[in-house]
């Protein structure tokens, strides 16, 4: 990160920022070109390791790309604020952002999918006691990102 004065390294604070985000953007490679898709998500930490979960259709470009390459990048951002000024170059923009890379997987077992869906619902609804019937589980793909690198930036 070029601007070390904006870098956040406190993992507890980074987790708070992730908790405020409502969208993750996942970037993958489609042949020789980037492809990015915004998704809602869930998040958990297990034994110090961070994981994101997303869900979507069982077929399509995103699923095809995950099957071709297990590496992905991701981005989240929140707390956007325009700082106005009396002159153009005085304008600025406040934000918190997280960028990282990891391995991306399509979960196969019902147990894994249910866990991922519960993490998504927990993040978005703050409730944990969800039940999913078999038809719902079979109709959706659940994606897991195992975070390998992560950086956080805050510009107030």
Report the alpha-carbon distance of residue 133 to residue 28 in Å, rounded. 31
The three state secondary structure string of 45-73 is: EECCEEEEEEEECCCCHHHHHHHHCCEEE
Band of pLDDT at residue 92, cut at 50, 70 and 90: confident
- pLDDT class for 111, splitting at 50, 70, 90? very high
Torsion of CA 35, 36, 41, 45, to 10 degrees: 80
- pLDDT, mean over the chain: 94
Identify the three-state secondary structure at position 82: strand
For 133-143, write each residue's pLDDT tens digit: 999 999 999 99
- According to DSSP H, which parts of the chain are helical? 11-20, 61-68, 110-125, 134-139
Q: Which domains does the chain have, with CATH numbers?
A: 4-154 (2.30.110.10)
Q: How confident is the model at residue 93 (pLDDT cuts 50, 70, 90)?
A: confident
Q: Please state the rounded mean pLDDT for residues 85-99.
A: 89
pTM recorded for the entire structure: 0.92
């Amino acid at each position: 990160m070029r601007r070390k004065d904006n870098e956040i390294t406190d993992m507890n604070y980074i987790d708070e920022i992730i908790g405020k985000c409502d969208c993750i953007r996942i970037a993958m490679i489609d042949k020789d070109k980037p492809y990015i898709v915004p998704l809602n998500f869930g998040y958990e930490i297990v034994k110090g390791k961070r994981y994101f979960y997303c869900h979507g259709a069982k077929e399509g470009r995103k699923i095809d790309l995950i099957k071709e390459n297990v590496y992905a990048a991701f981005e989240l951002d929140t707390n956007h604020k325009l700082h106005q000024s009396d002159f153009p170059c005085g304008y600025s923009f406040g934000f918190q952002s997280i960028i990282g890379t990891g391995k991306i997987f399509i979960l196969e077992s019902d147990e894994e999918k249910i866990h991922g869906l519960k993490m998504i619902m927990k993040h978005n609804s703050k409730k944990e006691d969800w039940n999913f019937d078999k038809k719902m589980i079979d109709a959706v793909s659940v994606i897991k990102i195992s975070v390998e690198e992560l950086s956080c930036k805050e510009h107030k």
